[in-house]
Every structure is written in structure tokens, then in C-alpha cells.
Structure 1
Amino acid sequence: MSDLLLRDVRVVALDDAPPPHDGEPVDVLVRDGVVTGLGPRLERPDGVPEVAGEGRWLIPGLWDQHTHLGQWTLASRRLDTIGVRSPEDAAALVAERVSAEPGRPVIGWGHRPGTWPREVTVAELDAVSGVTPVVLVAGDGHHGWLNSAALAALGLGAREGVVRENEWFAAYDLLTTLTGDDGTTPAAYRETLTRAAAQGVVGLVDFEFAGGPADWVERWSGCDLLRVRVATYADGLEPAIAAGLRTGAPLVAGDDRLTMGPLKIISDGSLNTRTAWCCEPYADAHAQEHPAGAANLPAHELAALLARAHMSGLQVATHAIGDAAVTAALDAYETTGAGGSIEHVQLVARADVARMAALGVRASMQPGHLLDDRDLSELIWPGRGERCFAFRWLLEAGVRLVLGSDAPVSPLDPWLAMAAAVHRSADDRGPWHPEQALTPREALAASVDERPTVGVGSLADLALLDHDPLAPADSPREAAAALRSATVALTLVGGEIVHEAR
């Protein structure tokens, strides 16, 4: 941990209290990774380096509470299918890549087939790829469209359509067998973390499907830059318990930056695949195997996992996108007494908002998804838009709200997430259900790991901004634009400089 004196910075208050010294510039002294002094013209102790803040704005460092860091690290190396609008467009893109790089497996990411006019087939990928393995991962991460060569290589068996949900999640760990060089070396991870630090990010929660705590311990010496909380899935629960891992415990002795995170459970599916579990059928229910989506595991198994984690000192992060899945997750938290979060909470019943507050379960949400899912939600969840991404309901009920990206489903960009929560629109249209929007202060407060401000005793995980993130704006659109354009001059983790603008 480093010692440091920041001169002339304006501390931004994220709660109802006035900013320290009425927002006038102050000095901030950091000793052993903790803020030990805050006030005008502090004396600099001998040997402590000094950094000129020049009147910039200081906030607690940002956190991304939901990432798949390996997949995000790989995203830049994969075929970008975000702009694909039809199966024919996807097939043409694959044909172009196979022609340009014959024999090299193709892994793509980003397309959202929820609005496509028909289901895709393995045969149409085969027609443009031959024996070259092709895997196209949907932008929500919940299914893969593979050709026959890839299905065979991954041992998934012949089929006509896509690989979905639990079967697909199990295949993630095998994707790197297709490419050899998987692009997830410690150096690659460090590059990803360096980009995050440049945005003021000091920590993240990693829900990567493959690997887990042991993999992070192995790579840590090469990418020990930010704070990382590492989740485990059900298949890693017993090994984690046997190793004595508890949520919050350091994974490397003497280093509190790498810690054990929660047990992650994926209790339902996604909107694009019509597998999110809802109380009412989808608008196109006639075309779905499960008209209202379905649970990924029965209620007794969900409760058993929560109980096992809880009794062993692990919090739980339960993926629940549909309103029925949120209800079932809250039932399990209430029955077992487990603590933790519901991840996504994309559609929620009003009564469950109050239950979430009463149980102390956090809502861990990804505002970037509402930009992608707005039109599809209105199409297949008609009349339910007011209950989608219900930030205002949650805050007014007293639910603890934290934000993230779900990278690579949305970019690892906390400023994008905050802007989406504030404006709720990605184009020239007005906000989608603006009654559920956050203010810039609320969005920022939900992005700093529940720390209200910087003060004496604060961990010196800090971000110094070139502009006031809470400057008055004439409209939510303007406020969101200001957030999107935020620039970070300095990022500290435990008092160490991990980013400094040049």
C-alpha cells in the first residue's frame, strides 16, 4: 500500500450530506492505503509523494458488480456479430471470415436473435463453413449457434438448432480447445484491467463461467492491478467449502485485493431466448417450448444450494431475469436466511420489491441491458415495461442497488451504465419509462460499492475526475451525455496509482 498526498481536490458527496468543506478544494492524505487526513493545506509528511489535483473532483473508485472477465478479455479477439440483423447476414459474415482465414476456427460474439424472423439451423452454418468449426455466441451469452464441426469438436452431439442454457454454459470451458491460444493469459487480463482502471474502476466481481478462485490465484502475480471478487458456480461449491473459502476472504495471503466472492446460481434464462421465467406467457408463447419461460433448477435444489452456501460462509448471487424467477429466488433467500444479491432483476413484481428490501437482498443490475432490450421487451413482454429495470421502485423501497455491466453482454464501462440508468434511451427517442430513472447522484452512488463519499478512514480506492459528475444539467439526456463523456485523471487502489492520464 502506498502513501500519497492529493492536493486541491473537490470531494463529491454521494449521500444527502453536503460535500466536505462545501465542495471547496481540499487536500487528501493517504497512509498505508487509507485516507487519514482531509482538509485545506495539509502538511505533507516526510517521504510522502504529492500529486496536484488542480481542483478536480474526487469520488470513491468505481466497481463493476457483474462481469465475465475472461469472455470480455476475449471479445476483442472474436468475430463481432453485434451488427448482424438476420441469419442470412450472420452466414455471410461467417463465409467471409472462413474465406479470409481458411481452416481457422471462428468464434463470434454479440448478435441478438430475439427479433430475427425465424429460428436458425446448423445446416445453414455448415453450408458456408465446411469443416471449419464455427461458434456464434449470442449477445446475452445464453446460447450458441454452432456448425456440425464445432458440435463434434466440443462433444455436444448432432442437432438442428442452437445449444441453450445449462448445456451451453457447460460448453464455455471448451471453447478455448478450438483456438489453442485462448487470449486469456495474465498479460491479456492485465490489459483488460488497465483499460478498466482508465475509466476509474477499482474493482469488479468476476462471474466467469470457467475457472474460478484457483485460476485467479495462478494468474494473480501477472495481473494484480485492481480488486477482484471471484465467484464460484455450483460445480465448484464443495471444493471451495473444502478449501475453507468464505466470501470476503483473501485468496492470496497478505493481499486483500483478490478475495472470494459469492456462489453464483443461474436460476432462469434470458429475454432473447424466451427462457427467462415469467409469471405471464410471452407474446409469442405459441412458438415456445415453455410459453412463460422456465426455471433452470427446481425450487428445492435452489434452496439447498443457498442453504449450503449460507452455512459455509458464502453469500449467493442468484441470476433471475423474469419476475417468476425473482419471486422464486426471494422465496429461497427467505427460507434459508442466506444473504447476497439477485442479479439482473430485469422484470419484477411490485410486491417483490418490498420483499427484497425486507430481506436485505441486493439488486445487482445492468442498466446497459435496457438499451439493448427495450424494443424486444415491448414486443414479447407487452404491457410490462413499467416493471422492467425498476430502479426507482427499488430505491424508494430501500433496496440496496448496485450496478454493473455483465461484460461482454454490455461493455465494461461504468459511465455507460450510469448514463443508461439516468436517461433510459440509446437514441433520439424519449426515455423508456422515465418514472423509473435514476438521478446522476443515485447512479453514481450505486457504482461505488456502497461507499457514500471519501472521508477519513476511507479505503484509498479513489478516482479523480476532470469534470464534476453531478454538474447541473437541463435534462436527463444532457446529464447522461455528460456522464458518457467523463474522463479520469487518476485512479488509486489501496493508495497505489493504477492509472494516470498523460
Structure 2
Amino acid sequence: MTDSTPDGPPDVLLRDVVLDGAHRDVLLSGGRVAAVGDRLSAGAVAGGVVVDAGGAVLRPGLRDEHVHLTQWATARRRVDVSAAVSARHVAELLAQAAPAVDGLLVGHGFRDALWAEPPHRDLLDAALPGRPVVVVSQDLHTVWVNSAAAQRFGVTEPSGVLVEGPAMDLIAAAGDVEADVLDGWVLAATDAAAARGVTGVVDFEYAPPGDWVRRTATRPPGVRVRVGIWPEFLPGVVEAGLRSGDPLPGLLDPLTRDRLRTGPLKLFVDGSLGTRTAFCHDPYPDVEGSAAAGAAPRHGLLRLSPQELRQQLRRAHDAGLHLAVHAIGDAAVTVALDAFEAEGVGGRIEHAQQVGPADVPRFAALGVVASVQPRHAVDDRDACDVHWAAGVDRAFPYAALLAAGAEVVLGSDAPVAPLDPWDAVASAVHRSLDARPAWHPEQHLSLDDALAAASGGRRGVRVGEVADLVLLARDPAAVLADGGPDALRRSEVLATLVGGAFTHRAGV
């Protein structure tokens, strides 16, 4: 995401920013950083603006390398059941919220990995008789419906619980609203991301790329968007001759063409830890009441055979598409790395939540990026200790990957975790959200490394680089030193610029 804006915004002279610990002026021109100096002349700003930053800290813009923007935009309007401690508690929360919601009642955020009683349609029927109810798990790999919703969406599973592909299909159907309404939600979501310093995302929403062309007909998104391609839509992308990094066809506005580009092909090797379908070398223990009981073998679910994966990688690579492979369990990571090696191509592994020691150095050796979501390590620590007890030392090995030379990039998997890079950075440098000690602190990243992983590898602002930038009220190191990870999560963003254009401006 280092594209410059061909018909860029007016020049901007940022007066008095703190850069590398010193007060500087920074000139932005043509979508890039044009000059850095002690006192640049305002006369150098051709038809642009001069902004007094008042000593704000200037840093590279932040990125979220793995989001589901439509799901995140929609989840912000669903009933939050993430606080539920049981299936019955979910039903109670939904019943309390139901009077304020018209039509289909959709909840989001349940985590059933440690529940004694599994989700079942009967629990929802008792709490909300006759009202169609759909409840989406926090990891987006499980969906739970009552009888009324089962009839509406054609669900025949007696428990009302679906996992993996069928669950994702139903989630998409439950989120079916008028296109103009949904487009407004998603564009507003990009603005909310910009307000947290985000300048670019990789969107892995399950939708045709043309949806983005439609929704940006009126204005560009608030961030750069690389639009992920799912296998179902690959034939049309190949037929159109689109390669990763190309603007989507049909975009007329130069600014929108610059911000909206073709992303990587996304492939699934396995499922998720929360659904107990991540494909692992060690078997899952028998857990009473598991929602996924009988849904997958005890080692998890292999969603693509090694041969099918290799064929998909080769086809996409030959078509000029970058490759992003979802692999969470350590056995799935091995399958993915083996396929990259066999085909002689690089790419990304999305999540890499459990990695065997022998596979850690293979990321760097094969040119495979580890696209990880640090908040998952914090949220899933208890589930890991139970379901991955035999391999917990292999879970979320961020420091080990970085030490072995791998390129590590951070994301959120929103709405699974907040679309907020400060949350990701804070979770990477300290793996705890409560008073308990950090979970496996040997895998913490330094603040500098975490910020670089959240900024596309950039560790500073240099002349000639794209002007994707963020202005902060305080230096992150000072924030962390004074207030710890929680304060870092609340970092104050004063302004965000994409290609030299303000996408958020609140304090300068």
C-alpha cells in the first residue's frame, strides 16, 4: 500500500511536528513527503495549506492487514453478547435487547469454547418465541439460530448451530440489507478507522470486488483498501486481467482509484480455535458441551487438501495475484508452508496462531509473511490453555517469528477484535487484559517492532515516501512508559493523512 496519488491533493506544510525526537517542518507534495527541515518556507507550498501542528508527533500511518469491513460495519449495529458466560446468558441478553430492535434480531460476539452447556436453538426459542434470531460467534466461524430463523434461512441442523462454510453463508445472508444502506455503513467504518490513525487495510470480506466500485461511486473510502479475492470470485478477476495492486475497474475518480486496489486471493486451510476446527498436530481434548462436537475430527478440520491448495496457489500466482492463506493450527501452517515451498512462490499466512518450532524459520526462508492479530492471543489465552494444552508453547509465537527473520504484520480480524491498531500494538507488547500476569511474555514484541509491524515496516518518516501519516498527541514510548498498555490502547490521534490528504483531523 505505497501507491502515490497521481492527481494528488494540494501541498501541505506541517509546521512544528516532532519527528525523530526533534521539532521539524514537513512538506507534503504530490502525495509524498517532499521535504523535511528546521524551518521550511511557506512559499514552497504551491496552492496548498500551512498547518501548525503545535508539536504533535508525526509517525508513519498505521495499517490493519486483516479486516472484514462489511462484517465490522454491521457488527457495530448488532446486539453485543460478548460478555455472555453461557448459552443461557446469551439468550437473556438478546431478550433484553429485543424490544429496541425491529425485524431480524442479530447478536454478535459469543465465545463458547469453555461453556459447559452448548448453544442450542431451544434456548433461543424459549427466550424469544417466534422472533427470528441469529447469533454470530466472535470468530465468525460459528452461527447459532432459533427455529424461526432456521425456517427463514433454510437451516436443517437440529441444534441450530452451523460452523465454517455454512455458517459464513448464513452470516452473509443475515447481513443482507439494502445496498445503499450497507455502503453508507462501510464508508462510515473507514472513517472510524481513519480516526484511529489507520491509513490502509486489507479487506477479506466475502463479497465480489464490484461491491467496492458501487459503494465508492459518491466518495473515496477513508483509508486505502486492498480488496481480498475469494475463490468463488477468482474466475471473474482472472478474466478481467486484474493483478494484485491494480485499481478496480470502473473507478473514475483519481483519488478513489488510488485508494482502492485489487488485493490477494484468500484461501482457507482450516477453521478456528474457538470452533475447535483449527487443524492441529495434537488432538483436541474431549470437552463436555462443545458446540463443535461431531462437526470436525479431533485434530480439527482440513478445509483444502494439500493438492487443492497447491493448484489454487499456482493458478493465482500465474494470474498475478498475491496469496493469503488462512492457517491457524500448527498442522495447517505446515500444510500451507509445504504448498508455498512446493510451488516456489511466496505469500502470506493469515493468523499463524500455532506454529511448530521447525516451521518458524521457514517463513523467512520461503518469503512468507506472518499476518497476525495480537489481540487474539489475549482473548484466547484461556481457550488455548484448555484446547491446546499439549501445544500451548507453540501458540502465537510472534517474537520467535521475528527473531527468525520473518516479516510480521499486524491486524485485527475485525470484527473478531477491534479495528484499532493501538489495541493490536498494545496486545503485542503485553499479553494481558486484566490483573493476571502476561501470558507467555517470552513472545512479546518490543514497542518499536510492534509499531513497525503495524506500519508496513516503516520505522520513521523519510523524504520520498508516500505521505500516509498520523499525528499523535504524545510519543507512544512515553505513553507506554507512563500508563502501560491500557494507556497505549487509548493513544490520542490528532490527524490522519492518506497520500497527503487529511482523512481525519481533530486536534491540529
Q: Structure 1 pair 213/103, CA: closer, same or farther in 2 (3 Å)?
A: closer
Name the aligned partner's letter for residue 213 of structure 1. P
1:217 matched to 2:213? The reply is yes
| Alignment deviations for residues 48-72 of structure 1 (CA, whole Å, 9 cap, x no partner) | 3111122221111100001000011
Q: Structure 1 pair 161/151, CA: closer, same or farther in 2 (3 Å)?
A: closer
Aligned to 2:56, the other structure's residue is in SS state strand
Aligned to 2:123, the other structure's residue is in SS state helix
1:313 matched to 2:320? The reply is yes
Q: 2:83 and 2:171 mapped to 1: Cα distance?
A: 23
Contact 2:143 2:171 in 1 (8 A): no
Identity %: 45
Q: Structure 1 pair 301/229, CA: closer, same or farther in 2 (3 Å)?
A: same
Q: 2:262 and 2:159 mapped to 1: Cα distance?
A: 40
Match in the other structure for 2:117: 118
1:8 matched to 2:16? The reply is yes
Q: TM-score, normalised by structure 2?
A: 0.92
1:460 matched to 2:446? The reply is no
Q: Structure 1 pair 187/114, CA: closer, same or farther in 2 (3 Å)?
A: same
Q: CA deviation at 1:185?
A: 3.0
Q: 1:358 and 1:395 mapped to 2: Cα distance?
A: 12
| Alignment deviations for residues 347-395 of structure 1 (CA, whole Å, 9 cap, x no partner) | 1111111111101110000011111101110111114333211111011
Q: 1:312 and 1:102 mapped to 2: Cα distance?
A: 46
Show structure 1 runs of 4+ deviating over 4 A. Answer: 180-184, 285-288, 472-475
Aligned to 1:167, the other structure's residue is in SS state helix
Name the aligned partner's letter for residue 239 of structure 1. G
Q: 1:445 and 1:293 mapped to 2: Cα distance?
A: 33
Q: Structure 1 pair 138/457, CA: closer, same or farther in 2 (3 Å)?
A: same
| Alignment deviations for residues 451-495 of structure 1 (CA, whole Å, 9 cap, x no partner) | 2321111101100111011238559xx442342121111111111
1:95 matched to 2:101? The reply is no
Instruction: Give the stretch that moved more between structures: 182-191 or 47-56.
Output: 182-191
| Aligned pairs (5 A) from 1:252-401 | 252=251, 254=254, 255-284=257-286, 288-289=293-294, 290-401=297-408
Q: 1:81 and 1:376 mapped to 2: Cα distance?
A: 18
Aligned residues: 486
Aligned to 1:130, the other structure's residue is in SS state coil
Q: Structure 1 pair 184/295, CA: closer, same or farther in 2 (3 Å)?
A: farther
Instruction: Give the stretch that moved more between structures: 54-63 or 480-489.
Output: 480-489
1:53 matched to 2:53? The reply is yes
Match in the other structure for 1:486: 491
Contact 1:404 1:417 in 2 (8 A): yes
Q: 2:320 and 2:74 mapped to 1: Cα distance?
A: 32
Q: 1:26 and 1:96 mapped to 2: Cα distance?
A: 54
Match in the other structure for 1:497: 502
Contact 2:310 2:342 in 1 (8 A): yes
Match in the other structure for 2:4: none
Match in the other structure for 1:241: 238
Q: 1:491 and 1:129 mapped to 2: Cα distance?
A: 44
Aligned to 1:199, the other structure's residue is in SS state coil
Instruction: Give the stretch that moved more between structures: 387-396 or 125-134.
Output: 125-134
| Alignment deviations for residues 179-200 of structure 1 (CA, whole Å, 9 cap, x no partner) | x457853322222111111111
CA RMSD of aligned residues (A): 1.9
Name the aligned partner's letter for residue 483 of structure 1. L
Q: 1:38 and 1:135 mapped to 2: Cα distance?
A: 53
Q: Structure 1 pair 473/148, CA: closer, same or farther in 2 (3 Å)?
A: closer
Q: CA deviation at 1:142?
A: 0.3
Contact 1:385 1:433 in 2 (8 A): no
Q: 2:172 and 2:66 mapped to 1: Cα distance?
A: 19
Match in the other structure for 2:82: 82
